[in-house]
Amino acid sequence: MLPPVERSDTGFNPDFDAPNGHAPAGSVPVSPVEAPAAPVALRATETTQPPQDAPDPQRQQKVHDVLYSDIGVNTLLNRLKASIASARDFAGFLKRRGAIEEDQAAGLKKLSRLTLENVQKAEARHESYQRQFEQVIHTNERIAENGTQFGLALHAMHENLTHLANKMDTSRKQLKHEGLSAEKKVQDAEALVHKAKAKYDSLAEDLDRVKTGDTGAGRKFGLKGPKSATQHEEDLQRKLQAADQDYQSKVQTAQAYRKELVATTRPQSVTTLLEQIKEIDAALTMEMQKYASFNEKLVVNNGQVVSPQPLKGSTAQVPPSINQVVFKINNDKDFDDYILKHASKIPSVPIELQYIKHPTLSQNKAQPYAPPAAVPNMSMNANTDRRSSLQMQPSQPTSSFSSPAPPEKGPPQQQYQGSQAPEVVQQPSFPTYNSGYQQQQPPPPQPYQQPGPSYPGASYSPVNQNQYPPQQDFPRGPAGQVAAQQSSGVSYNSSSPPINPVFGLTLDELFRRDGSPVPMVVYQCIQAVDVFGLEVEGIYRIPGTTSHIQAMKALFDRDGSTVDFRNPEAFKHDVNSVAGLLKQFFRELADPLLTQEYYTQFIEAARIDDDTTRRDSMHALINALPDPNYATLRALMLHLHRVQQNSEINRMSTANLGICWAPSVMGPHKGANMADAGLQARVVMTILDNVLQIFDED
């Protein structure tokens, strides 16, 4: 294991409230970039920067004139809008960068965990290589942890900046309504003034022309005919007086509105907008400074992990770097240690091989041409040897042997008790010794039976008889079947009809009867595979045990509520049989999961080459399915998506799952459907590739 590095060397402290990057009191020590020496360096840097120029009075006056002019409020609203947009852009960048860091850290952790498991396997190389490589892996885990903390810090910054931008946007809308309303009120009043003045000027000019006798002024016609010059002049005089009064009143109103705008409303709007612009700009700058600081910390912390450096004034021993750890691998010593581990397996005394003839054949082979009178002596010797072998195993039953008959008297006789031959221990192959014998049994001796046919090559020995205990006999009939099921631990289907059938019905019938859109057998099987089968290689491809599948099918057909696959004992620890049971349920549906009604439309959608168009077409068809079919398809596809996410371990990619499941959800590959086998698989693969867009995973 890599010796632990002091927290002051590698700690990652994304604290937003700590001033100057320092952690608050009572927290763990900070990283080298936050060490006490850092503020000194920062002050030195600050002293080397040139001082900022003093504000130019003329420039500030021009800015003030623009802000408090008629375009000031609108200009500030546009500037605040730009600041909000910039804050949101940087917040989006932080979110994506944080997600990238978290994904990379998660991938590095997973890789480190899998590599560590492989290194610790028995077939892997051990010794110093294992020890040093484990330190390298733990170093990568610490780098991944730094990346995770960095991603979390960026995510928090994104949340803060997004919240501030939304708050500023809401305030901007309110200020826009209030500020622009006051400006528009003044503008409308001044427009009425201009309109009243134009009317007043026109009437004054007409009156002047009438007084000077200008005939161009024209005569006005009344109800009783044309008006005289005097009447026309009096009429214009009245109108002019009314226009003059209206003009004066509108000017006074406009002046009052503008005075109120300039004195109260506009300064308030300008001040509020300036404060919000400065606030969001300062917040954006602060978050960017945090981002820069966290990047520096991440690089320094990772550098301390890869190659630790001592702090100034510290006397603590520095852990080795990755390069030093790898350098400690000793290949020669590892090789010698591995070989020496097997030294104890060397035989102490070599066994000298000798040719030893079987006792029953030694005399026969030694005297192939012996006279008939010598045969009984050989038989006695053979029997003596056989009995001595029996005495070595006192647990075997006692047997008596008769003298072997001459070869010309016929083949040997072998008697077997029961209908099964006794178990025979594998022995070296020897020539068959023709001997007749009758085994003694505890009951009275059985009558002599005629010699049966000989079995060439059978090395039967009474010593091997009754090596295994006899099998238990069960009574015949239903009672015997139940006893056998209880003894074997597996329940098999009885001949009685199902009490509450599940297989062979339609999903709509199951929904009307049980009230659950997803059948219980589907729920139980998915739950079992999720818990025990996601990392089983070839799940849904390798078939299960037929007897187990039929037994579990019978359980669900009798009463599915009593089945609980959360306990692996319920399916005999055979998760492949559970997977086979789930596929069999869908194969035996009276109407397939994707229904016969929409079969042709799914096949036509699978022929579309464009991925987006094909996905949208299938999405529409899935939404049109009956409710039980939709709910069951959703549960199944989200489950298969989880299986596919572990494809590096279980070797079940999207293509493999599509090939395995296409006949189960769309119908068997036979008849007219045989030509559609590839398109059926494409239907399932398209749904799996877009499962999170088609269904909501909640």
DSSP result, 587-648: HT-SS-TT-STTHHHHHHHHT---HHHHHHHHHHHHHTS-HHHHHHHHHHHHHHHHHHHTHH
605 has a pLDDT exceeding 50? yes
601 has a pLDDT exceeding 60? yes
Query: In which element (H, E) is residue 432 found?
Result: none
Cα(31)–Cα(294) distance, rounded to whole angstroms? 11
What pLDDT does 32 receive?
38
Cα(612)–Cα(618) distance, rounded to whole angstroms? 10
Half-sphere exposure of 163 (CA within 13 A, CB side): 7
Instruction: Give the tokens for residue 292.
Output: 């820069």
**Cα of 601 vs its chain's centroid, Å:** 31
Among 224-228, 309-313, 634-638, name the one with the lowest average pLDDT: 224-228
Return the top range by mean pLDDT from 4-13, 210-219, 385-394: 210-219
Domain ranges of the chain: 61-212+230-306, 507-693
366 has a pLDDT exceeding 80? no
What pLDDT does 669 receive?
63
Q: Compute the average pLDDT of residues 290-317.
A: 88
Q: Are 578 and 528 in contact (CB under 8 A)?
A: yes
Instruction: Give the tokens for residue 71.
Output: 């375009």
What pLDDT does 423 receive?
39
What pLDDT does 619 receive?
96
Q: Compute the average pLDDT of residues 146-159.
A: 93
The position carrying tokens 């110093």 is 128
252 has a pLDDT exceeding 80? yes
Confidence tier at 341 by pLDDT (50, 70, 90): confident
Cα(178)–Cα(163) distance, rounded to whole angstroms? 23
Nearest to 139 by CA among 301, 19, 26: 301
The 3-state DSSP class for residue 437 equals: strand
Confidence tier at 554 by pLDDT (50, 70, 90): very high
Looking at per-residue pLDDT, the higher value among 136 and 676 belongs to 136
Q: For a pLDDT cut of 70, what percent of the chain falls above it?
A: 69
What CATH fold (topology level) applies to the domain 507-693? Phosphatidylinositol 3-kinase; Chain A (1.10.555)
Q: Are 528 and 565 in contact (CB under 8 A)?
A: yes
What pLDDT does 584 receive?
95
Q: Compute the average pLDDT of residues 420-445.
A: 39
What pLDDT does 334 receive?
87
150 has a pLDDT exceeding 80? yes
Q: Compute the average pLDDT of residues 403-420.
A: 40
42 has a pLDDT exceeding 60? no
The position carrying tokens 């006695």 is 380
What pLDDT does 683 receive?
95
Q: Compute the average pLDDT of residues 248-254.
A: 89
Return the top range by mean pLDDT from 196-210, 284-298, 657-671: 284-298
386 has a pLDDT exceeding 50? no
What pLDDT does 262 receive?
85
Confidence tier at 373 by pLDDT (50, 70, 90): very low
CATH of domain 61-212+230-306: 1.20.1270.60
Q: Compute the average pLDDT of residues 455-461.
A: 36
Confidence tier at 227 by pLDDT (50, 70, 90): low
Q: Compute the average pLDDT of residues 489-497.
A: 47
Confidence tier at 391 by pLDDT (50, 70, 90): very low
Looking at per-residue pLDDT, the higher value among 375 and 619 belongs to 619
Confidence tier at 363 by pLDDT (50, 70, 90): low
Cα(555)–Cα(520) distance, rounded to whole angstroms? 12
Does the pTM surpass 0.95? The reply is no
> If you write DSSP's letter for every residue of 366-429 in order, what string do you get?
H-TT--GGGHHHHHHHHHHHHHHHHHT-TTSPP-EEPPPPPGGG-------SSSSPPP------
Burial classification of residue 46, based on how many CB atoms lie within 10 Å of its CB (0-12 exposed, 13-18 middle, 19 or more buried): exposed
What pLDDT does 233 receive?
81
Q: Are 664 and 583 in contact (CB under 8 A)?
A: yes
What pLDDT does 608 receive?
95
What pLDDT does 425 receive?
37
- A 10 A CB-CB count for 47 gives 7
Confidence tier at 257 by pLDDT (50, 70, 90): confident
**Any idea of the CA torsion for 83, 88, 89, 95, to the nearest 10 degrees?**
150
Q: Compute the average pLDDT of residues 247-253.
A: 89
Cα(359)–Cα(433) distance, rounded to whole angstroms? 11
Confidence tier at 482 by pLDDT (50, 70, 90): very low
Looking at per-residue pLDDT, the higher value among 468 and 637 belongs to 637
**Any idea of the CA torsion for 415, 421, 423, 429, to the nearest 10 degrees?**
70
Confidence tier at 30 by pLDDT (50, 70, 90): very low
217 has a pLDDT exceeding 70? no
Cα(93)–Cα(97) distance, rounded to whole angstroms? 6
- A 10 A CB-CB count for 13 gives 22
Q: Compute the average pLDDT of residues 55-60.
A: 86
Return the top range by mean pLDDT from 61-75, 210-224, 405-419, 445-459: 61-75
What pLDDT does 671 receive?
57
Q: In angstroms, how far is the first alpha carbon of the chain from the final one?
A: 41
Among 18-22, 281-285, 595-599, 601-605, name the one with the lowest average pLDDT: 18-22
What pLDDT does 215 receive?
56
Nearest to 558 by CA among 613, 599, 503, 508: 503
Q: Are 193 and 326 in contact (CB under 8 A)?
A: no
